[in-house]
Amino acid sequence: MTEFDQFIQTEVENYKRSGVPVNASWVERLFVGKVACTSLHPNPEDEFCLPDIGPNYGIITSYEEQFRYNLRLDLPLMDEPVIVQKIRPHGYMLLNGHHRWAAALRIGIKKIPVSIVNSVFESDIREMLERSVNEKRATLDLDEVVFRKDGDSDTEKAPSLFRFGIHRKKMRLGIPVLFRYLKKNGCDIWVYSADFYSIDDIRSYFKRYGVTVDGIITGTKKKRKDGKSEYEGVENLITGKYKETIHIDNDMVLITHSQSKDFEDVHIDCESGQWASSIIEAVENSGKA
């Protein structure tokens, strides 16, 4: 075991004894752009910390060379900040960017750029499920379905000129109409993303368009020690709550029934301006709207 491996092991044990994830205030998230490397702590559930996997020193060395080069030329240290979540009693836990943090720490860089996110807690999901009276849910992937790329014409008009962070992302045309229809017909709306967005940013993003979402799951690409998705445990809770799930994709709607295990998959029209109405028609024709 290397000296750095021992350091990581000590960090993990310290977190297990006293670390508790908490939400950061909007002021902290807005104004804290850099954090001392010594105030950042590895995530015990990340493969970076697992004894049988551990840090990849080839990747760390590559980052060390890149950082030294950037510092010599007075370039930005990193292309993107590392993603972190606030923890008690102090500091932040790394969600994404362990090897960049390790490289900076090993070559003596004092502070690195961070993006602080507020993740969803299992307790939040349990509370939301207990409050809900609906037996149906609709699910959508934020990055693949809701957000549109620059240059796409089928987008909603942005509510204001003041846009930053997630608010820069364009919304697919028809999402507000579709969400209002789903809510009117007794559906809870859940959105998912493999990336690490802050849940309060996602809520405010939809609120600007006059709609709300009931459940938010981010960081689905993160894996647990057993190799399964980090959110798989809470997904079982969610699935047990709803008798029907309407999964909405770019070119199809998949309607599943948890009790009978029956399902319907319907191809939808992706022509500009017709996407939302095609989904509504598919749900209504299923006879279960």
Q: Mark which of 50, 82, 116 sits at the end of a domain.
A: 116
Same-domain status, 107 and 31: yes
Same-domain status, 172 and 61: no
Per residue in 31-52, pLDDT tens? Answer: 999 999 999 999 988 889 988 8
What average pLDDT does the segment 141-147 reach? Answer: 95
Same-domain status, 170 and 256: yes
Same-domain status, 147 and 241: yes
First to last CA, the chain: 59
Same-domain status, 155 and 69: no
Highest mean pLDDT among 5-14, 41-50, 98-107, 215-224: 98-107
Query: Which amino acid does the sequence have at 215?
Result: G
Same-domain status, 56 and 171: no
What average pLDDT does the segment 230-240 reach? Answer: 67
Bond prior to 89 in cis (omega within 30° of 0): yes
pLDDT score at 152? 84
- Whose structure tokens read 């998912």? 192
Taking 3-state DSSP, the helix, strand and coil percentages for the chain, each rounded to the nearest 5, stand at 40, 20, 40
Same-domain status, 85 and 144: no
- Residues whose CB is less than 8 angstroms from the CB of residue 23 and which lie 6 or more positions away in sequence, other chains included: 86, 118, 200
Same-domain status, 14 and 132: no
Domain that holds residue 54: 3-116
User: H or E element: which one contains 235?
Assistant: helix 232-241
pTM for the model stands at 0.80
pLDDT score at 288? 47
CATH code, domain with 15: 3.90.1530
pLDDT score at 289? 41
Per residue in 207-231, pLDDT tens? Answer: 999 999 998 988 876 555 555 555 5
Q: Mark which of 76, 93, 116 sits at the end of a domain.
A: 116
Identify each DSSP E strand in 129-277 by its residue range: 136-141, 147-148, 170-171, 187-192, 215-217, 244-248, 252-257, 263-267
pLDDT score at 247? 95
Same-domain status, 200 and 83: no
How many percent of the chain have pLDDT more than 90?
A: 54
